[in-house]
Amino acid sequence: MEENSKWKTMVFAIGGLAGLLTGLAAAFLFIRSREMSEEDLKLTSGQGVKIGMGVVTLLKTIVEGGSK
């Protein structure tokens, strides 16, 4: 039973670290693109929907990839 727990802990640690790094990279790229275009730093509802759908698609791809 302990071996089962070890791989789960490792998956959580790797997933958490990957999520942290991905989020930081996304924030950095978003800020940089806004600074280069000199537009207002507002996120529109349309952009929010696109980002949300992208996240859902990514999660679906991860789940389906693990089951095949």
Tens digit of pLDDT for each residue in 23-45?
999 889 888 888 888 767 777 89
Please give the structure tokens belonging to residue 26: 């996304």
- Percent of the chain at pLDDT exceeding 70: 90
- pLDDT category of residue 68 using cuts at 50, 70 and 90: low
Count of alpha carbons within 13 angstroms of residue 34, beta-carbon side: 12
Q: How far is it, in rounded angstroms, from Cα 68 to Cα 64?
A: 7
**Residues with Cβ within 8 Å of residue 42, at least 6 apart in sequence:** none
Between residues 57 and 36, which one has the greater pLDDT?
57
Whether the CB-CB separation of 34 and 41 falls below 8 Å is answered with yes
Whether the CB-CB separation of 32 and 39 falls below 8 Å is answered with no
- pLDDT category of residue 21 using cuts at 50, 70 and 90: very high
| Mean pLDDT on 55-60 | 90
